[in-house]
Amino acid sequence: MAKNIYVQLLEKELIPACGCTEPMAFALAAALARKHAPGKIKEIHLKGSGLMVTGVQAVLIPNSHGRHGGYISTAMGVVAGDPDMDMEVLTKITDEDLEKAEALVEKLLAAGAFTQDLEVDVPSIYLSTNIITDQHNATVVLQNEHNGICYIEVDGKVLLDTRDINPITEALKKNNVDKSILTIPKIVEFCNTVDLAELDHIRYAMKLTQDICQDGIDNPLGMQCGRVLLKNMERGLVAKDEYNYTLAWTIAGLDARMGGTSYTAMSNTGSGNQGIICTMAPMAAGKWRGDSEEKIIRAVTLSNLMNIYLDYRSNEYAHLSPECYCGGVAPAAAACGVAYLHGDSAEVLNDIVRTGLGNQAGIICDGAKPSCAFRAYTGLFATLHAMLLAEQGISTGATEGIVHESADVTIDNIYRLQKETMNHTDEFVWKIKQEQKTIC
């Protein structure tokens, strides 16, 4: 019996990822290129879209003791990355491997043989990794998805070339569906009726998310936004309630992930942060409320599907966008999951999305970094308040800014905003990084 299309989409887009997906992409491409190019390394050349080369700069890498940047991510992949581990490519790296990776970076940079450049007029996710050894010359390209290997060339021979295939279009075509299945009423209906036996992947996502968020609560990682909030709840400086409990536990996971935790996150549409936000918010709210395990699982399923729905309507920006989706789209999806626990209707969810997206529109993505947790906190705080407003019949009006009475058209407008006005934001951020001499 074929799996339900929603279950297939969840299993396709919810992928375990150890560390932020940008450095993992650099490591994955490098590990694969190295596999095809044994021998003594003479040169490594990286070319990526603005969102990729800026995104990799500041976020901490797991098992690296605080290292960050495109050079060391690549070198770690070369030295000890396992390309068969996909987005968990660096899980087996040791301190000895790290020393070798740092030595490789130092040697190649000193020789001018390690380059990292911006490539324009390419998909928002694009990375070309070229490794030249004394025996071989291998190039690996990924695009559209952080693990979207689409081109492999070794010694002038092309082994793989699927650059013209769009993974979202192909996934929907393969399952004989179109985007019309992704609507709020249909998602709600599915979550109300699906047999829990079909949601083992959601249970797995919940387990991974619980562990990474617990790490952020227990340890001083990243900006410690969630940990500090929870401590101040205990001290009585902020209210100890469902709202702040949900915020603290959710953002703690982002603190951990942006702070270099070795725990694996379940990513959603290529973003571990979006996966954490969509999974932990309804988990934490459900725990605070004392809801049943079944109800929480259904709410987590809904929020993750809402995120996929909103990201897919962003077309080529579905897996990485000029706008910060961890601060806007994922919080809207997560708040819908919390609202589901409250028993709210599809109409209320529609209003949450409209108000939330309108409020956060245009906030740029300027690369993965510890402060992403604070930005996501800001977005989730506001969008949970949009939920409280929507439950009282209050929402952003259809004449206000880019907001439409339909969530569908509102997210379409967000896409157009990015396409028509934000398309070169990443190039601007890269220029700033160059001026400040912070490229690494």
pLDDT digits (tens, 9 = 90+) for 26-54: 999 999 999 999 999 999 999 999 999 99
Nearest to 127 by CA among 102, 105, 153, 147: 147
Predicted local distance difference test score (pLDDT) of residue 168: 59
Q: Residue 178 pLDDT more than 70?
A: no
The rounded distance, in Å, linking the Cα atoms of 267 and 209 is 10
**What separation in angstroms does the CA of 47 have from each of 56, 119, 131?**
12, 6, 12
Predicted local distance difference test score (pLDDT) of residue 10: 95
Predicted local distance difference test score (pLDDT) of residue 383: 98
Q: Residue 112 pLDDT more than 90?
A: yes
Q: What are phi and psi of 130, to 5 degrees?
A: -115, 120
User: Mean pLDDT, to the nearest integer, of 196-224?
Assistant: 98
Predicted local distance difference test score (pLDDT) of residue 181: 86
Residue with the two structure tokens 């490539």: 119
Nearest to 34 by CA among 73, 72, 78: 78
Task: pLDDT band for 1, please (50, 70, 90 cuts).
Answer: low
Q: Residue 174 pLDDT more than 60?
A: no
Predicted local distance difference test score (pLDDT) of residue 209: 98
Identity of residue 160: L
Which of residues 242 and 20 earns the better pLDDT score?
Answer: 242
pTM: 0.92
Per cent of the chain over pLDDT 90 is: 89
Q: Phi-psi region for residue 202, left (φ > 0), alpha (ψ -120 to 50) or beta?
A: alpha
Is residue 19 within 8 Å of 61, Cβ to Cβ?
yes
The CA-to-CA distance between both ends of the chain, in Å, stands at 50
Predicted local distance difference test score (pLDDT) of residue 165: 75
* Residue 391: CB atoms within 10 Å: 16
- SS3 for the chain is CCCCHHHHHHHHHEEEEECCHHHHHHHHHHHHHHHHCCCCEEEEEEEECHHHHHHCCCCECCCCCCCECHHHHHHHHHHHCCHHHHHHCCCCCCHHHHHHHHHHHHHHHHCCCEEEEECCCCCCCEEEEEEEECCCEEEEEEECCCCCEEEEEECCEEEEECCCCCHHHHHHHHCCCCHHHCCHHHHHHHHHHCCHHHCHHHHHHHHHHHHHHHHHHHCCCCCCHHHHHHHHHHHCCCCCCHHHHHHHHHHHHHHHHHCCCCCEEEEECCEHHHHHHHHHHHHHHHHHHCCCHHHHHHHHHHHHHHHHHHHHCCHHHCCCCCECCCCCHHHHHHHHHHHHHCCCCHHHHHHHHHHHHHHHCCCECCCCCCCHHHHHHHHHHHHHHHHHHHCCCCCCCCCCCCCCCCHHHHHHHHHHHHHHHCCCHHHHHHHHHHHCCCCC
